[in-house]
Amino acid sequence: MTFPSYERLDWKNFERLCADLLEAEGFIIESEPFVDRKGADLIAVEIYQSHEPTRQVRKRWRVQCKHYAGSGRNLGRKEIEEALFNYGANRGPDDGLFLIVDTDYTESAKETVDQYTTINPGAIVTIWNQRQLTTRLERHPHLLARYNLPIADVDYLSAISSLKRFGNVRTLLISDQSPLAHNLTSGLRAAGFDLTFLPFWNYTDLVRMELSRSAVLLKDYRLVICFLGDSFGFPLPSGLIEIILRCHNNGAALLLFPFLAWSINRGLYSQLEKIIPVELQDPTTSPFGFTVDMVAGSYRHGDFRWLLAFDSFAEDQYVEFDPAEGHLPFCEGINSRFGISHSFEYLTVRKTAELVWADTTGNPLIVINHSEGKKVCYLNTCGHSCMNLIPISSPLEVTPQFGVLVRNVLEWLLD
């Protein structure tokens, strides 16, 4: 990831940046930055809204802002122990401890928090490190401008345009309206692919769908890409399912995105069930430990915020990916851990499939099937959000490593 020059700020402006960012992210700021010997630089309230309208979780955060940029320091055990002491001495029944650091935290700091939350039921601690802080800031350019923190533009077209070596790949892209889908379209066209773009307003209208179906079936596609995302509430017509199956049976590789697994779990698209390499995780039996107490997240694994136990998918949640945990060739050319804020499903891998990369919580990101010369990849990321008014940025636009990841996926599908 490319990071802003946080060292340009003094500690007062860093605290104000944190307050402005939390407010932009939907937190309610109860108190502006101030000097508090009880261990809080500001107080922020977060309301967790679920798709079940009667369920909400309210969390009041005691926020500490750690401005270490330029010093070479990370948040260590000593600072964590002091923060936890003040938190334990002053916290109310709904209070959590929220630390924002513009560098990173050490392994001993993570272990200290883990031990503390284990022996103090109800205590919730979350940390935003430099990666998460930057990921959140990237979707609020007015704050980057206000605090003079420019970030270099991400050139995802260059990464994907390297696919030119495959020639004029005939591709069908079934698209929702997410920025990710449109960015991928631009990248494939820059790579010289022969792209048929089928947007959701074509396949949700029966007359347009029939016209598209007649034209599409005349072509021999090498690659089919299917986004649902923000249109997953509109079932794909049977004619479109027929197109996907026919193309795949004729040898086309498939790149699939959420929410196909969610839809199949709801009884839709049974014809696709055998070729999709994942199943929706039942959160009530999840090995990840879904509980309301963990809704604020597991700091140990990239500050991941667990969704409430009744949802089975997450919207606009921050996760991290470590190339050391991915398989080649999917992590090739990615040399550092990175994070994105995105929407995704909680998935399990079918016995006939292979998990090649998961986020640092263990939830699958890339799962593949490869049988009889036919390749399928499920890429568990999208930009859907119906419970959040903040638009989800396309990871292709803000995270260089993600462009390389997508290129690697496409290379595997086409090789």
CATH number of the domain where residue 331 is located: 3.40.50.880
Cα angle, residue 413 at apex, residues 277 and 156 outer, rounded to 5°: 110
Place of tokens 């347009």: 208
Q: Which amino acid belongs to residue 91? A: R
Q: How far apart are CA 371 and CA 249, in angstroms?
A: 12
1, part of any domain: no
Domain boundary among 146, 176, 210: 146
Write the CB contacts of 403 (distance below 8 Å, at least 6 apart in sequence). 154, 155, 156, 158, 159, 160, 187, 396
In this structure, the answer to whether residues 408 and 278 fall within a common structural domain is yes
Query: Could you give the dihedral angle defined by the CA atoms of residues 331, 332, 333 and 339, in that order, rounded to the nearest 10 degrees?
Result: 0
Omega before residue 329 within 30° of 0, cis? yes
pLDDT, residue 6, reads 93
| Beta carbons of 147 and 155 less than 8 angstroms apart | no
Q: How far apart are CA 264 and CA 235, in angstroms?
A: 11
In this structure, the answer to whether residues 208 and 120 fall within a common structural domain is no
Q: What's the alpha-carbon Rg for the chain, to the nearest Å?
A: 22
| Beta carbons of 381 and 343 less than 8 angstroms apart | yes
Alpha-helical runs (H) found in 191-237: 200-203, 206-216
User: Environment class of residue 415 by beta-carbon count within 10 Å: exposed (0-12), middle (13-18) or buried (19+)?
Assistant: exposed
Pairing of strands 278-280, 347-349: antiparallel
Crossing angle of the two packed helices 130-137 and 11-24, in degrees rounded to 10? 60
Computed from CA positions of residues 65, 115, 302, 53, in that sequence, does the dihedral angle turn out positive or negative? negative
The closest of 295, 305, 310 to 343, measured between CA atoms, is: 305
42, part of any domain: yes
In this structure, the answer to whether residues 180 and 117 fall within a common structural domain is no
- Residue 386's CB is within 10 A of a number of other CB atoms, namely 11
In this structure, the answer to whether residues 229 and 119 fall within a common structural domain is no
Q: How far apart are CA 86 and CA 99, in angstroms?
A: 13
In this structure, the answer to whether residues 183 and 114 fall within a common structural domain is no
Range of the domain at 55: 6-146
pLDDT, residue 284, reads 58
Alpha-helical runs (H) found in 25-167: 77-90, 107-119, 130-137, 141-146, 156-161
Cα angle, residue 80 at apex, residues 76 and 84 outer, rounded to 5°: 175
320, part of any domain: yes
In this structure, the answer to whether residues 192 and 139 fall within a common structural domain is no
In this structure, the answer to whether residues 179 and 321 fall within a common structural domain is yes
The closest of 253, 266, 273 to 414, measured between CA atoms, is: 253
Domain total in the chain: 2
151, part of any domain: no
In this structure, the answer to whether residues 108 and 180 fall within a common structural domain is no
Computed from CA positions of residues 23, 122, 313, 350, in that sequence, does the dihedral angle turn out positive or negative? positive
Q: Which amino acid belongs to residue 102? A: D
Please give the chain's pLDDT, 415 residues, in tens.
678 899 999 999 999 999 999 999 889 998 776 656 567 889 999 877 665 556 666 788 999 999 999 898 999 999 999 999 999 988 888 889 999 999 999 989 988 988 898 898 888 898 999 999 998 898 888 999 999 998 888 888 989 989 999 999 999 999 888 889 999 999 999 999 999 988 888 777 778 777 777 777 767 899 999 998 767 777 888 888 988 999 999 999 999 999 999 899 888 999 999 899 999 987 556 554 444 343 334 433 333 344 444 467 888 888 899 999 999 999 999 999 999 988 899 899 999 999 999 998 888 999 999 877 799 999 999 988 776 667 788 899 888 999 999 999 999 999 9
pLDDT, residue 283, reads 59
CATH code for the domain in which residue 80 is found: 3.40.1350.10
**Phi, psi angles (nearest 5°) of residue 355:** -85, 120
396, part of any domain: yes
298, part of any domain: yes
Place of tokens 């606009």: 316
pLDDT, residue 388, reads 67
**Phi, psi angles (nearest 5°) of residue 64:** -120, 135
In this structure, the answer to whether residues 286 and 379 fall within a common structural domain is yes
Please tell me the pTM assigned to this model: 0.86
pLDDT, residue 77, reads 93
In this structure, the answer to whether residues 225 and 359 fall within a common structural domain is yes
Q: How far apart are CA 272 and CA 28, in angstroms?
A: 44
- Residue 74's CB is within 10 A of a number of other CB atoms, namely 17
Domain boundary among 119, 146, 173: 146
Q: How far apart are CA 117 and CA 113, in angstroms?
A: 6
In this structure, the answer to whether residues 240 and 303 fall within a common structural domain is yes
Write the CB contacts of 238 (distance below 8 Å, at least 6 apart in sequence). none
Q: How far apart are CA 306 and CA 293, in angstroms?
A: 9
Query: Could you give the dihedral angle defined by the CA atoms of residues 160, 358, 200 and 136, in that order, rounded to the nearest 10 degrees?
Result: -80
The closest of 44, 43, 42 to 33, measured between CA atoms, is: 42
pLDDT, residue 53, reads 58
Q: Which amino acid belongs to residue 113? A: V
87, part of any domain: yes
Omega before residue 259 within 30° of 0, cis? yes
| DSSP letter assigned to residue 308 | P
Three-class DSSP category at 282: coil
In this structure, the answer to whether residues 400 and 351 fall within a common structural domain is yes
127, part of any domain: yes
Domain boundary among 146, 167, 197: 146
Q: How far apart are CA 260 and CA 335, in angstroms?
A: 31
pLDDT, residue 46, reads 85
- CB crowding 122-139: b at 16 or more within 10 Å, else e: ebbbbbbbbbbbbbbbbb
